[in-house]
Structure 1
């Protein structure tokens, strides 16, 4: 009697898309994460090859669901926009997120930040930005060889890859898009749109008022011409040549 062959173990691996931890520990950290993610999305809205995500698991190694990181914000140039449950690098043609942002909170520990630095160095991040909103302090690390080397930031810094500009001469720090517009919070965007609508309506009202004035002037001119014609006709009736 033959022995039945052993059944192969399933090769399917679960890559979780959440660890159950909150994205932010406080409102300040949350506002900065949302501001950076949303403003980057707006800045590169016309670039179909720039993918921006916030708090998304990044799995760099196929078959390994333990090696992962969820940057507060990450940018992958060369990858299409679209929804993802996680960023699986082998599915993304091997392209890693080249730019990552971490917004610090009181809960961050030096060991945790060292682990993140080692992960980003190992798996191909080109630019690493760490911002501490409570201290208003920006740390910039740029890849040199296989290392993410800290660069001194005195005044302003421009991202070599994204072209965004960090201005640390003002407090709190302001980030500018490549077109010069500032990064904005959701409330500022909504408020700005409301202001733009109000300005548009005011311009429309001014345009309508000018049109009414122009019509009134045209009516006055036509009335004057009619009066002149009547006067000329009356003079002719009286035998007077004007």
Structure 2
């Protein structure tokens, strides 16, 4: 096990942007924005639900490559506040419980092959893919047993 000193931890920068555009199309951006606003409205009375979109979720302290950027996600049991990115270790080890990916031709392979394993290992309980074009095959993650 690798233990980092506080000096080493403070030297690691966890970026909030990769310099890439937020969404590849107006359709994707609109669905992402709508989804976030709908979830925020639904959970408006709860101070312990954080909803965000297309921001980095860092899940391993000291490893800035251990990162994923869900299109839309919700985390239960953490404070509702603005964040530049989400660092699991700073949030009591709480990971997102809900993730929605708005899939497209350019993201389909990652959304269906890579991300499900990452989300499963993080303990994401609900993972959905939405294909606004209807062009891609359906995908289902195994049901999580609670």
Instruction: Please give the root-mean-square deviation of Cα atoms over the aligned residues, in Å.
Output: 2.2
Instruction: Flag the structure with larger Rg.
Output: 1
CA contact (8 A) 1:59 1:68 kept: yes
What 5-or-longer segments of structure 1 have no aligned partner?
1-7, 146-242
CA contact (8 A) 2:75 2:96 kept: yes
TM-superposed deviation, 1:23: 1.7
Question: Paired residue for 1:213?
Answer: none
TM-score by length of 2: 0.86
SS in 2 for 1:90: helix
TM-superposed deviation, 1:141: 3.3
Q: Deviations over 1:30-68 (max 9, x none)?
A: 111011011100110111011000111001111110010
Question: Paired residue for 2:97?
Answer: 98
TM-superposed deviation, 1:106: 2.3
Structure 1 residue runs of 4 or more that deviate by more than 3 Å after TM superposition: 136-143
What is the distance in 2 between the residues matched to 1:25 and 1:41?
23
CA distance 1:107–1:54, shift in 2 (3 Å)? same
Matched residue count: 138
TM-superposed deviation, 1:108: 1.5
What 5-or-longer segments of structure 2 have no aligned partner?
none
- Aligned pair 1:67/2:66, yes or no? yes
Which of structures 1 and 2 has the larger relative contact order (alpha carbons within 8 angstroms, sep 6+)? 2
Question: Paired residue for 2:21?
Answer: 22
Question: Paired residue for 1:13?
Answer: 12
- Aligned pair 1:144/2:128, yes or no? no
